[in-house]
Amino acid sequence: MAQWIECIPNISEGRRPEVIEAVAAAVRGVPGVVLLSVESDKDHNRTVITFAGPPGPVAEAAVRCAAEAKARIDLTRHEGAHPRMGACDVIPFVPLSGATMEDCVALARRVGERVARELEIPTYLYGEAAARPERRILANVRKGQFEGMRDAVGTDPARDPDFGPRAVHPTAGATAVGARFFLIAYNVNLKSDDVALAKEIAKKVREKDGGMPGVQCMGFFLEEKRCAQVSMNLLDYRKTSPQAVFDAVRRIAAERGVEVLESEMIGLLPRDAVDACFKEATLCANFTPDAVIETRIEKSRTALESPAEFLDALASREPVPGGGSAAALAGAMGASLVAMIANLTLGKKKYEAAEARMRSILGRAEALRAELFGLVRTDTEAYARVMEAYKLPKDAPERAAAIERALQGAAAPPLRMAELCAETCELSAEAVAIGNRNAISDGGGGALLAEAAALLAADNVRINLGGVGDAAYRTGIGERLKGFLARAKAAASKARTVVEHATAG
């Protein structure tokens, strides 16, 4: 049986869709990896990214995720309710089909060493991968958070990392890499703004204070919803299920005269952790069958295996998939044609001088193809969240913010498409100039498809931005989009000129 491992990096960014999409794109660009979910929390200022696949691709995606987070997140400017010590705060691995905990421990140690060596970020091993007993618990590793660790690491030998420099990175902090059983992140929101009550409930239900086994818990105030939240990690749902902990929170709150507003899942959960009545019994606002990891993997592994099925779905009366997904697929086809001319050039004695550059073009074209193909599904999921936001009751206090967040999130995938398509056009222009003359029309076709895809993606960005209230955000995205389209147009024109000259008469 093939090994499948789940990885769930948590990054310290939940408010800037363009940053979140860039980090997700780094994962999506690794062949063999299935990106399962990207879930952000504005108050916590944190995003949970879930992906799965064989050990090798999953390890590569984890390192790329940490690298992109390092490049785009500055912890000296970060504020949020959730404890954090790193731009890519934590990278846990969980065994799925065909994999064991020992496999995940080995993978965690390998990835931890790479993050430290390649990114110069101090890395700690935790959970089942911990090299020191006290570091099995993540809270012990993260004690003091980013600010406190800046003073402790390098002066206190007990805080030395397992890999990397004995000092936190100035902006990216430190990262914890581990292996663990399936953890369920689960929140219960109260019909109250009493944070003291949320903290009291947290103390009563968490294991370390004599509460329920395998429960870690904290109390927060959610600015966006203006309510108190009991935020939990369930370390072993076989010992304490989401239903059991919800019932306990509701009972304790009721004893204080407070009702539960709702509960919510963060990320995915196993099929046997819930029953058919879970959504209604726990008032879980965001639970759908797709929140079950086995269901998500099954769908992701079979998505778009049949072009006919995709075309049928595209032509249907359903709003998704739509133009954004079509743009991503066209862009992926364009990148595939660039890879084609590169493959047909490599190894040909006549084009020996172009061998090294064509090998580089091929590698990048393959990466572009993989990421653009992944955006087919991502765009569909992003617009589905817009539709969900608009379905909220018109008098719901969180509706406006939910719509704003969803629209910004829906603008991010096509913006990324436009950027990738501009690069595809530029690769095409270079490939047709130095590549195999017999494949020049194919290579040039890559630029035509990619430019068309960029234009279609741009329309999707603009239509989503039309409903966004943040003027500064709209302006910033608009300027970036303009630059991508200019690059695509110039490179496609250049490629077309080469093709027309070579095929004339």
According to CATH, the topology of domain 306-503 is Four Helix Bundle (Hemerythrin (Met), subunit A) (1.20.120)
The confidence band for 35, taking pLDDT boundaries of 50, 70 and 90, is confident
Helices in 235-354 by DSSP H: which ranges? 242-255, 278-282, 293-302, 307-315, 323-343
State mean pLDDT over 293-314.
71
According to CATH, the topology of domain 184-287 is Alpha-Beta Plaits (3.30.70)
> Sign of the CA dihedral 14, 17, 18, 23?
positive
**Is 82 a catalytic site residue?**
yes
**Residues forming CATH 3.30.990.10 domain(s) in the chain:** 5-179
* CATH code that applies to domain 5-179: 3.30.990.10
Predicted confidence (pLDDT) at residue 283 exceeds the cutoff of 70: yes
**What is the model's pTM?**
0.61
Predicted confidence (pLDDT) at residue 164 exceeds the cutoff of 90: yes
* Percent over 90 (pLDDT), the chain: 70
| Model pLDDT for residues 401-425, shown as the tens digit of each residue | 889 988 998 999 999 999 999 999 9
State mean pLDDT over 346-364.
91
The confidence band for 146, taking pLDDT boundaries of 50, 70 and 90, is very high
DSSP one-letter string for 352-406: GGGHHHHHHHHHHHHHHHHHHHHHHHHHHHHHHHHHHHHTS-TT-TTHHHHHHHH
Q: What is the pLDDT of residue 334?
A: 96
Nearest-angstrom CA–CA distance, 445 and 60: 31
| Average pLDDT score over the chain | 91
State mean pLDDT over 130-144.
95
Choose the catalytic residue: 41, 89, 162, 379: 379
**Residues forming CATH 1.20.120.680 domain(s) in the chain:** 306-503
Choose the catalytic residue: 82, 160, 236, 247: 82
**Residues forming CATH 3.30.70.670 domain(s) in the chain:** 184-287
Q: What is the pLDDT of residue 488?
A: 97
The total number of residues written for the chain in this structure: 505
Nearest in space to 25 (alpha carbons), one of 467, 442, 416? 416
Which H helix or E strand runs over 425? helix 399-434
HSE value, Cβ hemisphere, 13 Å, CA-based, for 293: 27
**Is 442 a catalytic site residue?**
no
Residue 189 is encoded by which pair of tokens? 């929101």
Predicted confidence (pLDDT) at residue 299 exceeds the cutoff of 80: no
